[in-house]
Structure 1
């Protein structure tokens, strides 16, 4: 067999190998999308499947969602607000902490880094009760602030930004100091553009975490209008009846914001993964 044929065969085997996880990943989303186009009774009879039944397809579930399922859009709005502010604040504060731990030397630096790693290893369920008592003391129960405040400093994001900042050239900081730039100016004008790949990658992860967060909003939020999408959709499954019309079509629309975030930030996400791949 010639080298050219061997190369083509290797390429085909590689594509086939990559196609398997792609099918596994796409199948649930495809099955969910097709189920949203069918009557809910079909889901009870046959379950989730990708069998094309064009005669059953309709937009009735989505029409119902936009007309009678108005509470769904309260949940959607709450999730957007909480995810947006949680992600933005976590990126800002966590990047500043991680940057300072990497680029400066100060007393107690080792202790701070130890505490960051320690909090990363502690399950959130252990911290949930003292955090809830704090929210009660701050009168932040059943508010956006009650969900957002504990998430604006993320230990994983701090560790990530610290590790990424260790690869930044400190010579740029010395040059900026000679030119009279302040430390805040160095971070905002010089280092911040270099951190864009890190912001893109961590932005996707933090947005995904906040969007799918179920446990903490379930503890803090009380009224039906303040619920987020994961809690609201889970509440549609009860022992007394299941509202599949809203559940299935609402779940499909719930995936769209995360897909949009990834599409716009994937460039920086890939750059952050390959940042240390080439030297020189």
Structure 2
């Protein structure tokens, strides 16, 4: 027994050390980026990203510039990204969860075929369908609009698959009880089943919001004017053949991390439980 306990303690300590090392590796780029955002552009060009703390050259000038009138476009891009990410996340979770719920809770003809199609779409890179999506966006007259960025991906295969897997582990007795009480199918979903799916919603909220926030290719194709650009595109526009504003770019990138960081803080409990439970159901 003592040998088993000592072995368990050693393995636990080694596991903790491993996770600490992984955490340091994950934090390292963020720390280097934060230090770089406090330095002038000439220091970045000379030494690149590093962990040197130089109080004599470090200041908040880059951040003060972002909050000045000269950089008003930055917060327009920030607002556009927040709006697109918020709308996309809400709509994607709503419609994808309904599709996944239907595939997991109901039995109907062609159910397995539909689910197989979802799996096939998951394996198709988005770059392959960019051209037909672009033609569809032109036909719908949604070029240079928020709708053009959101609508083509509002029902995503990954959330559909995840919600379907999660729903298959929920007891169908709740639905039967709701029907007996005279509740409609939509009423049973929103009042009974949706609260039971909170962990799945928390996990997918973080993943889909992060994907939308960092999305570059599709908004770059759809959006045309400066006042419609999202943050990743706007920050990329700071690098031109006529000058590279690395100091402003890095400071803007640090501020761009904050929404996803705050989102994860609020939903981390649901994120962990959702991935754990949803990954083994079905």
- SS of the residue aligned with 2:56? helix
TM (normalized to structure 2)? Answer: 0.94
**Separation of aligned partners in 1, 2:264 and 2:182:** 38
Instruction: Quote the Cα distance in structure 1 between the aligned partners of 2:180 and 2:49.
Output: 65
Tell whether 2:191 aligns with 1:189: yes
Aligned pairs for 1:30-179 (under 5 A) are: 30-67=31-68, 68-179=70-181
Residues in 2 aligned to 1:95 and 1:226: alpha-carbon distance in whole angstroms: 29
Q: TM-score, normalised by structure 1?
A: 0.94
Give ranges in structure 2 of 5+ residues lacking alignment: none
Corresponding position of 1:225: 227
Give the superposition deviation at 1:128.
Answer: 0.8
Quick one: structure 1 residues 176 and 33, their matched pair in 2 at CA, closer, same or farther if it must change by over 3 Å? same
Are residues 143 and 276 of structure 1, via their aligned partners in 2, closer, same or farther at CA, if it must alter by over 3 Å? closer
| Structure 1 CA distance for aligned equivalents of residues 176 and 167 of structure 2 | 15
* CA RMSD, Structure 1 to Structure 2 (Å): 1.9
- Structure 2 SS opposite 1:55: coil
Question: Structure 1 residue runs of 4+, over 6 Å off?
Answer: 1-5, 276-279
Specify whether residues 3 and 54 from structure 1 end up closer, same or farther in structure 2 by C-alpha distance, changes over 3 A only. Answer: farther
Deviation at 1:111, TM superposition (A): 2.3
User: How far does residue 245 in structure 1 lie from its aligned partner after superposition?
Assistant: 2.9
Structure 1 position 23 matched with structure 2 position 24: yes
CA distance in 1, matches of 2:162, 2:127: 23
* Alignment deviations for residues 48-74 of structure 1 (CA, whole Å, 9 cap, x no partner): 011111222211000111112111111
Q: Is the 8 A contact 1:64 1:245 kept in 2?
A: no
> Which structure 1 residue ranges, 5 or more long, are not aligned?
none
| Count of residue pairs brought into register by the alignment | 279
- Once the two structures are TM-superposed, the CA of residue 140 in structure 1 deviates from its matched residue by 0.7
CA contact (8 A) 2:85 2:212 kept: yes
Deviation (angstroms), 1:29: 0.5
Cα–Cα, structure 1 residues 148 and 18, in superposed 2: closer, same or farther, change >3 Å?
same
